[in-house]
Structure 1
């Protein structure tokens, strides 16, 4: 069953492309925020299906472009958008497949970062391209026939994604081994093999804190970092938004045990700010303190400076940018944890 008849290619094709581009962009951003395997798998699948679904509309879009060029030669904006979209799809497919040779980490830059950069550029070009071509909603957009076409497009996109995943497994490609988030294993039980990455402008400090400041309303104590290795162990996956993950046995002190030393009644529904010596910070629910760890060791070895020495936060089920490095202060606050930027601005 054809999704659209070629002779009727036009507005519906463009609306379908716009919907898929918006879905791909939205799920791409969401994939950076979701770390739990179940939700992450759904988000990554939707992202991949939306991207591959664009290919299903290429024949109809080619007809639209040909007709437009016959009426008036096209400018460079549409061409730039098309090229950026194809390059975004290509780098996304390259990452999903596991990369080949130097492509996986070219010049020290993960191919996933190239994919993200191209995706941002595609979004900007899409806004420019669509600005002068705004379409008013029509009642037929939600009609039975339109919904059936949209459903057929969704099924086709999902089938294309599923076929790609099946091909990776059938051929034994590296992409078949990636985690639910789309990340590849690098350095499990071997911290020295983990890539050293920072979030945006954050950098390894020259003088890490030797004392941890622990604070709550009406109470502040200073804890020597050397006293934080209290033997608590958590096995958890550090899943970086750079496209890699590593599972380690992290050792240090559970955050709830450390907060108990404040000898204060902590606020119900409160949060805890974990702040780096660099100023990087994340706020987490106080109710999760029992599952959080301030780690001084990984796989039985002291942390290296690049991995957060002398102490870093371990936040199982959250992406790497939540795992604050070089922790200098932990403060209990009476404010909701979600009252912050979804992604660090530093």
Structure 2
């Protein structure tokens, strides 16, 4: 009897370890889209990478569990969903490693995009699998032995991540030069070489030079493009959630200069709205670091990069950098009172 019970407990511990790693990898992956400052993004990226690679450590044990389950349920359960989960999980790990090493693009589709799509599919199938298995929490799941094994798994995952990072640096692979967010350099100093991307629900509009509407302090002003080129410059990193970054010099007008002398709420926010309806709300206190740019690297913005004017938000990921800005409005509402990522 003990010889039967022990493998069952071992199988359960393996499944719990996989679930824990998947939860950490999923949560850190989502968080990585919103964190753009160096130290926090580096920590999040490290946790995400270690959790993903840690899945590989459990493959030998999970293979034993799968073989045992296959013999027990053969002919009584459709294995399609289980195999689909295995394939998607494998694709998620492989594309994550490929993006880390080289950040490649195949037929115009970035490996990171495939990674995210596979991860979403994996998450759906994990939920279906967890519901179908009807497992319930047990007191032994939080036993001292279980906690020690969890700690050992975490250490092993961190060591594996460290080994991969060390290997990238020793070999000089492109991944050794990626940013703390995991993004690879594309087109720094050369806007023409910078990828043209936008949020997946947004599209590049037609030519539009209708100017910008500024609403603040109870007043509305309409500004033309030439009114916004006031010579303010900033070197900032555009770090796209598509997995690339570019360091550029942006020119235009700082938002605090544009709002100078107006009656503004002390703790308000500013809504930046695109001609497409895309919008982001930022703290009014950040106005001194925000730039409404008309030029990039000394050249007028192209349509794909946000002409006639786009927002430059240093320290924030690319989806905060609203393109094709049509309206800037100061509002008496907290900046965080919005979806964490754009929904439109």
**For this structure pair, what is the TM-score category when the shorter chain's length is used for normalisation?**
over 0.9
Aligned residue runs from structure 1 range 190-205, under 5 A: 190-205=190-205
> Quick one: distance in 2 between partners of 1:85 and 1:199?
25
Deviations 1:183-209 (A, max 9, x none): 011111111110111111311211324
Counterpart residue number, 1:28: 29
Q: CA deviation at 1:7?
A: 7.6
> Quick one: distance in 2 between partners of 1:112 and 1:187?
18
Asked whether the 8 Å contact 2:217–2:263 carries over to 1, the reply is no
Counterpart residue number, 2:331: 333
Counterpart residue number, 2:59: 58
TM superposition score normalised by structure 1: 0.94
Asked whether the 8 Å contact 2:207–2:303 carries over to 1, the reply is no
Structure 2 residues not aligned, in runs of 5+: 1-5
> How many pairs align?
336
Asked whether the 8 Å contact 1:217–1:333 carries over to 2, the reply is no
Counterpart residue number, 1:281: 279
> Quick one: distance in 2 between partners of 1:182 and 1:254?
29
> Quick one: distance in 2 between partners of 1:246 and 1:211?
27
Task: Please identify, of 62-71 and 289-298, the stretch whose mean Cα deviation from structure 2 is larger.
Answer: 62-71
Counterpart residue number, 2:124: 124
Aligned residue runs from structure 1 range 149-168, under 5 A: 149-168=149-168
Q: CA deviation at 1:79?
A: 1.3
Deviations 1:48-100 (A, max 9, x none): 1001101111111111111111211252211111111011100000000005x
Aligned residue runs from structure 1 range 308-323, under 5 A: 308-323=306-321
Helix, strand or coil for the counterpart of 1:222? Answer: strand
TM superposition score normalised by structure 2: 0.95
Q: CA deviation at 1:210?
A: 2.7
Asked whether the 8 Å contact 1:186–1:193 carries over to 2, the reply is yes
Task: Please identify, of 315-324 and 121-130, the stretch whose mean Cα deviation from structure 2 is larger.
Answer: 121-130
Asked whether the 8 Å contact 2:252–2:291 carries over to 1, the reply is yes
Q: CA deviation at 1:174?
A: 0.7
Structure 1 residues not aligned, in runs of 5+: none
Q: Tell me how large the CA RMSD over aligned residues is.
A: 1.3
Helix, strand or coil for the counterpart of 2:33? Answer: helix
Counterpart residue number, 1:231: 231
